[in-house]
Amino acid sequence: MSVSLSVSPTIAPPTQADLLDFVRRTAADTELISALPLDPQGRTWVRLEGPGGSEAWLIGWPPGTGTGWHDHADSVGAFLTARGALKENALAARLPTDGWKTLELSDDVDRTRRLPAGQGRAFGHHHVHEVLNDSPDEHAISVHAYYPPLPRIRRYSRTGQVLRLEQVERPEDWQ
């Protein structure tokens, strides 16, 4: 007697490169990008189905809006500008993940990147940044993906070289 066992293959979670490929392909979907309702007063967003169980968003940015300093905790991610231009200010330093409220940053940690339409980036765990549409008159639209789906977002305030943890948000806070 012979017995045949079938084993389901394990699906690997999406990598930063997979997420960047997803946001690039999604941003090229001009029909989807054009369908996002834009509000002149605040950001708008639509949740998308990301690859491999990731969380994905299409976000509209009115002129002069931004996220403030934050990180995505244990998630890796990618985002790409589909229309307009965004600016990313980021910290090129690995911060302690827990147990602190205030840190003094060294002078060499700041990085600034302009991301016009068609450009984006991937990032790793605990990447601290802020994203801004600093245009005085043009909306921007971007596509974002995170894996695992965002377990929390830590929000920070910054005065000079002092970074202060202000709030920890969890998914139930966004509903």
* Contact assessment for residue 73 and residue 151, using Cβ atoms and an 8 Å cutoff: yes
Query: One digit per residue, pLDDT tens: the chain, 175 residues?
Result: 555 555 556 678 999 999 999 999 999 999 999 999 999 999 999 999 999 999 999 999 999 999 999 999 899 999 999 999 999 999 998 888 778 899 999 999 999 999 999 999 999 998 999 999 999 999 999 999 999 999 899 999 999 999 999 999 988 876 5
Output the pLDDT for position 1: 52
Distance CA 118, CA 40 (A): 23
Q: Model-level pTM?
A: 0.90
Q: Which DSSP category does 33 fall into?
A: H
CA atoms within 13 A on the CB side of 54: 29
Strand 44-49 and strand 102-104: pairing?
Answer: unpaired
Q: How far, in Å, CA of 64 to CA of 82, rounded?
A: 17
Residue 10: per-residue pLDDT: 66
Q: Which DSSP category does 137 fall into? A: S
